[in-house]
Structure 1
C-alpha cells in the first residue's frame, strides 16, 4: 500500500527521478496510553510532500489531523506517547530525536501556524520580542538585528505601521493581526515546510481571504511546502494541490484536489461534500449531515472505520465492511487512493449522491473541465 503511493510522482512534483520528496511520512502511528485505555490517534498513515506544493488535510474533529502534524514538529511528549513509523524531513529521520536535536529542525526546516494565535503567543512578551527570539534561535545575530528582522517580517505580512506595532502585546492585536504575527514568526527563518492548523478559524470571511492570499504569496516567494489543516473544503479547493481525507485516525482518501472534489470514491468524502449548503438556494432547506458520531479512538470499530455511519454498506457483498479493513489502494483513476469496499463507487456517487447535493455545487462539480476551486468558490472571494 505504502510503496504503491510513494513510488508515484504526485502531480505538480518538482523532485527529479530518484530524489526523495522533502517530507516523507511512512506508516506513522501515534498512540496515547490513558487511564481509560490506549487512544489510537493516528494509525498507519503515509504520504509525501514536495517543496512548493500544498497538501490539504481534511476531516472531522478528532480524526487525527493535528496529531499527525504535531508529530512532524516533534511536539509530542515521548514519555506519554507511543509513536512508530518514519517521518523524514529533508532526508533526516526525526522520530526518535531528542528535544535538543529537534530544536535545530523546528523553526528552521519546519514551522507551524497554530489554530489559536492568542493562546499560542505568550501574553507577557511583545509580538516583536517573540518573533526576534524565534529568529535568534537559529541565527547568530544581535538583539537589534533580530528586532529589525521582526519589523521586516511584520511589514511583510501586512501589519500596518510595523515599526510602532512591533512593541505591542498580543492582546493589542485583532484576531487577524495575531494570525499574521504568527505567520511572520513561522516564516522568520525561511522554513522549507509550513504547517497551517486551521489558519482561518474564528476569522471573518474578508480576513480569511486575506490570510489565504498571504500564504499563497509567501509560498511563491519562499518556495515552501505547505500542509493546511482545515474543515473548509472551499479553502482546500483554493489552496491545495493534493488532498488527504482522514477519518478515525486513518487516511481514507488521497489524490489531487480536482480529482478528490470532482470524483470522490469514499462515502465519507461524499458526506463532507453533501454537507456544504447551497448559498443561492432555499434558506429553509435542510442540510444533509453525516449520520451518527465520529468513532471513539479508544475502541475503534472493526473493519472499515466508517461502516457504522455509512449509508452504502449494504451495497458491499457479505459482511466485509464490518469485518475487514479495506486497504488504501489505487482507485479508478490512479494515483487517486481510496479506502473502501464498494465495487463501483463512481456509479453510486453519480446515481445517489450528486442528485441530493446543493444544486449549484453539483452543477459545478459536473463541469469537470473547470478548475477545482470553481466548484467551491465562495461569494466572499
Structure 2
C-alpha cells in the first residue's frame, strides 16, 4: 500500500549573497491517512522549510528543490503552478506559525475563510459566507454569525489560531500541516487547539503533520515522531518509543533541556552545549558531532568525516551501536530525566 504522502531524499537550497543555504539535506519520510506525524527540532532545523516544499510554496527563483514529493500519487516537485493551486487549500492545507501575520488585516475573518472555498468549489458569495460561519462554529468561535464580520485584530490570539484552523479546513483537506499552531498561546488554549485538531482528524480522516520544537506538545498528540537537526532527520519512530527510549544524543539533549515537575525550583535546566551549525557551511560527517559528548566513544574521525545513515522505521542516524545507544540512555540519560 502506497503512503498518502511520501517524501524521498528531499533537498532544499536557497541562494543568498553569502552563499547557498542547505536548509534541507536528504530528508525522507512517509505519512498515511488518519495518522499524525510530529516533526521536532530547534529553530533552523528545516521543519517549516520541508513542509513549505511539500505545498510548493518556495520561490523557484531563489530555491533549488530536489527529490521526490508524492501527495496521493501526485508529484509535487517541479509541478506546474496551475496544478499546485488546485491542490493547495483543497487536498492539502497549512496552518501557519503566526496567525496575526498570516491573516490579512485588511479583510474580515469571514472573507478570508470563504475565499478558498469559493475558489475550489465555485460556491456563491452567500454559500461561502454560510460555510465560513459553519467553520467558525466548528472550531468553537462564539456567536459565529456576528464574528464572521470581525477583523483579525478583534480576535484574541487563541481565536485567531482557531480562525486559521477554520481557513485551513474549509475545503476538508486530506493533508493538514500545522506549523507550530500553539506558539505564544497559554497552556489552556494550547490544549484546546490540540484537542480540536484531534477531533477534526477523527471526523475527516485527514493526515496531519504537526511541526513544533516542544517534545511535550507531541507526547500525547502524534503517532510517529521525526527529529530534525541541521536539515536532516536524526531519529524517527513511533512517538512512545522515541520518547521512552531515545537513541540519538541530540534527542537526549532535547529531553534533558525540558523542565521536570519533580525537580527543585532551584535546579537549572541542562541546555545542549554549543549552537546549531551554519547551513551555509554545515560540518562534514554527522552534523551534530561538534556538540556531541560521545564522539570519542565512536573512535577515530568517523563522526567528523562519515555521515551516519538513518535506518528505516525505528532508528537513529548515529555511529554509536544500537546496543551502546540503549546502554547510554539507561545508565546516563534516564537517571537525569527522572
Which TM-score band applies after superposition, normalised by the shorter structure?
over 0.9
Q: In 2, Cα distance between the equivalents of 1:329 and 1:160?
A: 48
Which secondary structure state, in structure 2, belongs to the residue aligned with residue 128 of structure 1?
Answer: helix
Q: Helix, strand or coil for the counterpart of 2:121?
A: coil
How much does 1:232 deviate? 1.4
Deviation of 1:33 (Å): 1.1
Q: What residue number does 1:336 align with? A: 314
Aligned equivalent of 2:295: 313
**Number of residue pairs matched?**
336
Partner of 1:245: 227
Distance 2:159 2:302 in 1: 50
CA-based RMSD: 0.8
Aligned to 1:146: 128
**Distance in 2 between residues matched to 1:72 and 1:180, nearest whole Å:** 23
Name the SS for the 1:47 alignment partner: strand
Distance 1:21 1:184 in 2: 26
2:155 is matched with which residue? 173
Cα distance in 2 for residues equivalent to 1:245 and 1:232: 11
- How far, CA to CA, are the matches of 2:48 and 2:108 in structure 1? 27
What's 1:116 paired with?
98
**Equivalent residue number for residue 36 of structure 1:** 18
- Could you tell me which of 205, 211, 215 is aligned with 2:197? 215
Give the secondary-structure state (helix, strand or coil) at the position aligned to 2:23: strand
Q: Secondary structure at 1:154's aligned position in 2?
A: helix
Q: Which runs of 5+ in 2 are unaligned?
A: none
280-289 vs 201-210, which moves further:
280-289
TM-fit CA distance, 1:234: 1.5
Structure 1 residue 100: deviation in Å?
2.1
Aligned equivalents of 1:329, 1:151: Cα separation in 2: 47
Aligned to 1:260: 242
Alpha-carbon distance in structure 1 between the residues aligned to 2:207 and 2:142: 27
Q: Using the TM superposition, give the Cα deviation of residue 124 of structure 1 relative to its aligned residue in structure 2, in angstroms.
A: 0.4
Q: Distance in 2 between matches of 1:307 and 1:222?
A: 43
The runs of 4+ residues in structure 1 deviating greater than 2 Å are none
Q: Displacement, 1:280? A: 3.2
Q: Distance in 1 between matches of 2:143 and 2:262?
A: 40
SS of 1:77's partner is coil
| Aligned pair partner of 2:329 in 323, 336, 349 | 349
Q: 1:141: Cα distance to partner?
A: 1.1
- 1:182-331 pair list within 5 angstroms: 182-329=164-311
The one-character-per-residue Cα deviations of 1:138-191 (angstroms, maximum 9, x if unpaired) are 001110000000000000000000000000000000000000000000000000
